[in-house]
Structure 1
Amino acid sequence: LLLRGGAAAAARAEPCQAPRQWEGRTVFYEHGSGRNTRAAVSYDGPNQRLRILEERKALIPCKKFFEYILLYKDAVMFQIEQVTKLCSKIALTEPWDPYDIPANSTYEDQYYIGGPGDEVMVQEWSDRKPARKLESWVGVYTVKDCYPVQETYTKNYSVTTSTRFFDIHPGIADPSVFTPPSTCQAAQLTRMKDEC
């Protein structure tokens, strides 16, 4: 009976519509370096804007923390050092990749995360196609409200990055977070390093 229900869900599964504007927190994991970056995120899909504010969760000697303002319609990213407010202005070369489930995605699975009485139902989607055995993107989104839970990207047969999402709430409390500070008027054109 359970198997039939899962097969029925797969037969009628359609990608849900993720919220177009939200704020929350993320953990971005780079598998090659083993590095986790925690951040507060403001996401504005209609205007193709993203603001990432790295969080200080521990005292790490010689570590710099940054705020990033990515303005895809202008093809520019601002990197702002949180203490000194020094600013770099860098051209964005990657296209806008919204946090959503593309319409041509492949349904992979539906399951609960959590335990009895404290679970959330999610669906897993990918860009896998029948002619290709592997996928380069896998996204996990809640069934209710279609919030992102995790996205994983793979290149050259190895997992390169994973992003976990949490504490998400719809809307943007302060749209001015997408406005670079005045120090960016004299921005340098090279990316700053995150260590001394």
Structure 2
Amino acid sequence: MKVLAILLCSLASVCLAQLPKPCTSPPLLSGALMVSTQNEKLWAYAKYLYDAMGQRIRLKELGTYQNKSFTYDALLLYRQAVMYEIDEKNHSCKKKPLKAEFHPMEIPKNATLLGQAVVGSSSAPGQGLLVNTWWGDLPKNAGKYMSTVTEFGCIPVSTSYQTAEYGWVVTSLFNNIIGISDPGELNPPPYCQQEELKDHTKEEPTDFFSFFTNKH
């Protein structure tokens, strides 16, 4: 009986040890993402650079918003509370206050595990990707969110969350690379560095999604 009890305890410990845990993505990432909304008002594709250590993000976007096409290039410097809207073609930019808080790519500690799955096939090595899907409540009871990350490395795959105006907002990330090939892209271009901070009457971005919508 003691042997059986020890065996059951050992098996339980192994199972508990294998349960996925909330995690934080690598501090330096680059890749691409797509954003779409449930009400079909927005579709966007963007290349991104992400620096959690310096709290900097660069987004180069193209897409449609309310049936109008757009392109957009933004450098977000959270520690300085400043954002640059960059026009590389004309060598010009606008410097604006950044009111959003920096949120690292991570699964919050209070998130609930929905399940683990293989994207692709588990029939043979290299044919599938093991991912974990989590869900939880947005701050201030704003709704629900659901995030999927890889089991190994905590690389973001997709995030969905609720908004009152757009319904569910879905962000899918792909071609992710750990590291940044050109860190200089996370600094303002020379023609932007003398730009003065301007107070705009238009509402400034206050969260990640508003970078895709408030500029129009």
TM-score range, shorter chain: 0.7 to 0.9
Residues 77-109 of structure 1: CA distance to partner in whole angstroms, max 9, x if unpaired?
A: 111124223312221222112111122211111
Alignment-mate amino acid for residue 43 of structure 1: Y
Matched, 1:22 2:29: yes
Q: 1:76 aligns with which of 82, 100, 103?
A: 82
Using the TM superposition, name which of 42-51 and 83-92 deviates more.
83-92
Q: Which runs of 5+ in 2 are unaligned?
A: 1-14, 203-213
Measured in 1, the distance between the counterparts of 2:31 and 2:79 equals: 22
Matched, 1:96 2:98: no
Residues 17-51 of structure 1: CA distance to partner in whole angstroms, max 9, x if unpaired?
A: 31111111111223344322111111001111101
Identity of aligned residues (%): 26
The answer (yes or no) to whether the contact 2:130–2:151 under 8 Å persists in 1 is yes
Distance apart, 1:161 and its partner CA? 2.1
Matched, 1:123 2:135: no
Measured in 1, the distance between the counterparts of 2:170 and 2:155 equals: 16
The answer (yes or no) to whether the contact 1:152–1:159 under 8 Å persists in 2 is no
Measured in 1, the distance between the counterparts of 2:196 and 2:69 equals: 21
Matched, 1:164 2:166: no
Q: 2:182 aligns with which of 171, 174, 180?
A: 174
The answer (yes or no) to whether the contact 1:106–1:128 under 8 Å persists in 2 is no
Could you say what the CA RMSD is over the residues aligned between the two structures, in angstroms?
Answer: 3.1
The answer (yes or no) to whether the contact 2:24–2:154 under 8 Å persists in 1 is yes
Matched, 1:155 2:163: yes
Alignment-mate amino acid for residue 13 of structure 1: P
Classify the secondary structure of the residue corresponding to 1:127: strand
Q: Which runs of 5+ in 1 are unaligned?
A: 1-7, 57-61
Matched, 1:137 2:155: no
Paired residue total: 180
Task: Give TM-score, length-normalised by structure 2.
Answer: 0.70
Query: Higher relative contact order by CA 8 Å / sep ≥ 6: 1 or 2?
Result: 1
Larger CA Rg, structure 1 vs 2: 2
Structure 1 segments (4+ residues) deviating >4 Å: 8-11, 190-194
Task: Give TM-score, length-normalised by structure 1.
Answer: 0.77
